[in-house]
Chains A and B, each alone.
Chain A
Amino acid sequence: MRSVVVPMATQVGSPAVNITIFVIFVVVTLAIVLRASGKNKTAADYYAGGRAFTGRQNGIAISGDYLSAASFLGIAGAIAINGYDGFLYSIGFLVAWLVALLLVAELLRNTGRFTMADVLSFRLRQRPVRIAAAISTIVVSLFYLLAQMAGAGGLVALLLGIDSKAGQNLVIAIVGVIMVGYVLIGGMKGTTYVQIVKASLLIVGAFVMAAWVMSKYGFNLSSLFQGAVDKTGSGAILDPMKQYGKSTTTKIDFISLSLALVLGTAGLPHVLMRFYTVPTSKEARKSVEWAIWLIGLFYLLTLVLGYGAAALVGPAEINAAPGKANSAAPLLAYHLGGTFLLGIIAAVAFATILAVVAGLTITASASFAHDVWGHVIKKGEGSADAEVRIARISAVVIGVIAIIGGIFANGQNIAFLVALAFAIAASANLPTILYSLFWKRFNTRGALFSIYGGLIIALTLIIFSPVVSGKPADAKTGLSPSMITDASVNFHWFPLDNPGLVSIPLGFLLGWVGTITSKEYNAKKYAEMEVRSLTGAGAEKVVLDH
C-alpha cells in the first residue's frame, strides 16, 4: 500500500540534510540577532525590545511564541491519532485569545513596564505581591520550558537518527546553549526577530503541506476524511470523544482541560511580556488581532495536516515511530516531499523549540531580575544597568536548569507539562490579573491568596492525579502510562488528569475571600491605575534609538 518505504524503524530521511537545514536556520537567525543587538543598551531594550515593534511584527512574534512544538507537532499528531479530539484542543487554544484581546492586552500594556508583576503590584504592597508573581511566573515558565526541552529529545531521536540517550542529551544541551546565546546577545529584540522568522517559516511550511495534502484529494475535505476513515478502518476518527469518551470521568476531564486552555493563555507570563514590546495600547490590540488571524489560520491548516497524516501515513505507522504522535507531521512531510521536505519541516520544528525556549528564558530571567532583585532586594534603588546584568546572569542559570531538567524530562509526557503550565496560569495568574484590573476593592491579601492558592492547589491536584501515579498498567509492557511507570505505586486520589475545573474556580474564590477579609485600599493608586489602564496616560513610551 505504501508508496514510500521507511528505511529504518527508528529514523526517516537523511540526518545530514536535516542537520544542514537546521544549521542554516541557526546561522541566519544568529546573524539577525547580532545585528539587532547593536542597540541593546537600556533595560527597556533588553526586556521590551525598546518598545519599538509594530503591532504586526509583535503579532507574528506572539504566534511564534504560541505555536510551540506542542502546538505544531502535538496537535497534528493528536488529530492523526485521536481525530476530532485533537481538533478540540486547537479550538480551545484559539478562543483563549479573545480573553487576551478583550480584557488583558491593552490594559496591561498601559499599566506595566516589563513584567506581569508590574501590573499586579501597581496599587498593592510591592514586596509580597512581586515575590508571589515572580514565583508563579518562574514556575509556569519552567514547566513550559521543560516541555519544550523534552520535546527536543524526542524529535532528535526521529529526525537525526540519534537513538542513544547520551546523544539525545547532548542535543538538548546544544539547544540550551544556542538559546541562551540568543537571549544574551539579542535580548528581547533579538528574540522577537527569531520568533518572526520562525513563525513565518512555520506558517508557510504548514500551508505548503496542507495544500499538497488537499491536492491529493481534489481539494475536497470530505474526500480527505474518507481517506482517513479508509486508512484507519473506522469512522470514529471523525467523531468527538474517541480519546475522552471512555467514561464520565474522562469527559469531565476533557471539560477541565478545555477550561484551563481557554483561561490559561491570558495568564501565560511569556505571552503577557510580549505586549510590552509595542509602543502603545493600540499597537498591543493590533498585535493580538494579527496573532488571532495567524493562529486561527495555522490551526485550520493543522486540521488538514492531522487528517492528512491519518490518511496518508496511518496511525499504525505513526505509533510505531520513536516520537509516536509527535512524529505525525514529520512523517507526513516525508511521505509527501521525501527527504528534502522532511528536512525543512524538521528544521522548522527545531527552530520552534529554540525560539519558544528563548522567549521563556527571557521572561523568567526578567521576572527574577526586575521583580525579585530590582524591587524586592534592591527596593527599586538598583541601577538599570545592574538589573540587566542580573537578568543576563539569571538567563544563564535558567538555561542550565532547563538543560538539566530537559535531560531528566526526556521521554516524559509533553502534553502533561504544557497542560500543567496552562492550569497554573489560569488558576494563579488570571484571577489576580482580572481582579487587579477590574475590581476596585481588590487588595494585597486577595492577590496573595489567589496567586499562592491557585498555584498550590493546581500543583497538589496534579501530584495526586492519575498523571503522576496509578494509571492501570499497559497489558503489553506491564508499565503504567503515568509519570511513575511502576504500576504498583499508586497514591492518586484526584480523579482528573487536569486540575483546572477545581483549581481555577478556587483561585478566583480565594482572591475574593482574601480581599474581603482585609481592609486595605489605596484610593489614589487605584485612581491612577484605572485612568492609566484605560487611557494610556503616563504609560511607558517607545525608546528612541540612541
Chain B
Amino acid sequence: MSNDAQSRTDDDSTFTEVQQSAEFTDLRRRFRSFVFPLTGAFLAWYFLFVICAAFAPAFMSHKLVGNINVGLVFGLLQFVSTFAITIVYVRWADRHFDPVAEKIRNHVEGGGQA
C-alpha cells in the first residue's frame, strides 16, 4: 500500500518483533510520558487564559504599569510558554529520542540483523 514505491527487505513479522521488543516499548513509553503531560499542561494553561478573558474581566483589566494590564501580560505569557515548550521539546527529542529511534530504525531497515 503506502510503501509501494520502495524495495523493502523486512516483512511484517519484523515489525511485530520490534514492536514487542523492550527497547521499542521503552521508547514508546518515554515518548508518550513526555508529550502527553506536556500537551495536557499547555491546553490547561491556554484554557485558563481563555476562561479568564471571558469570565474574569475585572482581573484581566487590572492595570499593572501604565496601560499594561493583566490581560496583556497573561496573553504575552502564552507566547512565552509556547516558545519555551518548543525549545524544551526539540532539545529533548534531539538528545534523548532520536538516538534510540535511529538505532531501532537501522535494525529494522537492516533486515532484522543489527
Same assembly: yes
Which of A's residues lie within 8 Å of B, judged by CB? 44, 84, 87-88, 91-92, 94-95, 97-99, 101-103, 106, 111-113, 118, 121-122, 126, 220-223, 225-226, 229, 238-241, 244-245, 251-252, 254-255, 258, 262, 282, 285-286, 288-289, 292-293, 296, 299-300, 380, 384, 438, 523-528, 530-532, 534-538, 540-541
Top 5 nearest A-B pairs by Cβ distance? A222-B66, A225-B67, A537-B108, A527-B19, A240-B53
> B69, A239: Cβ atoms under 8 Å?
yes
A-B contact sample (8 more), CB < 8 A, given A87-B75, A98-B42, A229-B67: A84-B53, A226-B67, A238-B61, A239-B57, A239-B69, A255-B50, A296-B82, A531-B104
CB distance from B62 to the nearest CB of A (A): 10
Assuming A101-B89, A523-B16, is B35 touching A293 (CB within 8 A)? no
Chain B window 1-27, contacts with chain A (Cβ cutoff 8 Å), 1 for yes, 0 for no: 111111010101001101110001001
Please indicate the chain A residues that have their CB under 8 angstroms from the CB of B114 in the complex: none
> A300, B109: Cβ atoms under 8 Å?
no
Contact of B72 among A229, A238, A262 (CB under 8 A): A238
> A292, B71: Cβ atoms under 8 Å?
no
> B105, A101: Cβ atoms under 8 Å?
no
CB distance from A292 to the nearest CB of B (A): 5
Using CB atoms, name the residue of chain B closest to A524: B12
Please indicate the chain A residues that have their CB under 8 angstroms from the CB of B61 in the complex: 238-240
CB distance from A344 to the nearest CB of B (A): 27
> A240, B68: Cβ atoms under 8 Å?
no
Please indicate the chain A residues that have their CB under 8 angstroms from the CB of B27 in the complex: 534-535
Please indicate the chain B residues that have their CB under 8 angstroms from the CB of A532 in the complex: 15
Using CB atoms, name the residue of chain B closest to A239: B61
> B8, A538: Cβ atoms under 8 Å?
yes
> B15, A531: Cβ atoms under 8 Å?
yes
Please indicate the chain B residues that have their CB under 8 angstroms from the CB of A245 in the complex: 54, 57
> A241, B53: Cβ atoms under 8 Å?
yes
> A300, B18: Cβ atoms under 8 Å?
no
Main secondary structure of the interface of A (DSSP, over half): helix
> A103, B101: Cβ atoms under 8 Å?
no
Main secondary structure of the interface of B (DSSP, over half): helix
Assuming A88-B75, A103-B39, is B1 touching A98 (CB within 8 A)? no
Assuming A239-B61, A535-B105, A536-B101, is B15 touching A528 (CB within 8 A)? yes
Contact of B79 among A262, A296, A525, A526 (CB under 8 A): A296
> B42, A95: Cβ atoms under 8 Å?
yes
Contact of B68 among A91, A222, A286, A525 (CB under 8 A): A222
CB distance from B30 to the nearest CB of A (A): 10
Chain B window 61-91, contacts with chain A (Cβ cutoff 8 Å), 1 for yes, 0 for no: 1000111110110010011001101100110
Assuming A255-B54, A535-B108, is B19 touching A91 (CB within 8 A)? no
Assuming A102-B39, A239-B71, is B46 touching A97 (CB within 8 A)? no
Please indicate the chain A residues that have their CB under 8 angstroms from the CB of B42 in the complex: 95, 98
Expressed in whole angstroms, the Cα–Cα distance for A113 and B1 within the complex equals 10
Expressed in whole angstroms, the Cα–Cα distance for A98 and B65 within the complex equals 31
CB distance from B49 to the nearest CB of A (A): 7
B96 at the interface (CB under 8 A from A): no
> A292, B54: Cβ atoms under 8 Å?
no
> B16, A524: Cβ atoms under 8 Å?
yes
Please indicate the chain A residues that have their CB under 8 angstroms from the CB of B83 in the complex: 292-293, 296
Please indicate the chain B residues that have their CB under 8 angstroms from the CB of A525 in the complex: 12
> B60, A240: Cβ atoms under 8 Å?
yes
Expressed in whole angstroms, the Cα–Cα distance for A289 and B71 within the complex equals 26
Using CB atoms, name the residue of chain B closest to A291: B86
> A285, B6: Cβ atoms under 8 Å?
no
CB distance from A438 to the nearest CB of B (A): 8
Please indicate the chain B residues that have their CB under 8 angstroms from the CB of A121 in the complex: 1-2
Contact of A91 among B60, B79, B85 (CB under 8 A): B79
Please indicate the chain A residues that have their CB under 8 angstroms from the CB of B53 in the complex: 84, 88, 240-241, 254
Expressed in whole angstroms, the Cα–Cα distance for A520 and B13 within the complex equals 20
Please indicate the chain B residues that have their CB under 8 angstroms from the CB of A299 in the complex: 79
Assuming A251-B54, A296-B82, A527-B15, is B109 touching A282 (CB within 8 A)? no
Please indicate the chain B residues that have their CB under 8 angstroms from the CB of A221 in the complex: 67-68
Assuming A255-B50, A531-B24, is B57 touching A540 (CB within 8 A)? no
Chain B window 29-49, contacts with chain A (Cβ cutoff 8 Å), 1 for yes, 0 for no: 001100100110011001101
Expressed in whole angstroms, the Cα–Cα distance for A214 and B77 within the complex equals 21
Contact of B39 among A92, A99, A126, A296 (CB under 8 A): A99
Please indicate the chain B residues that have their CB under 8 angstroms from the CB of A534 in the complex: 24, 27-28, 31, 101
> B19, A97: Cβ atoms under 8 Å?
no
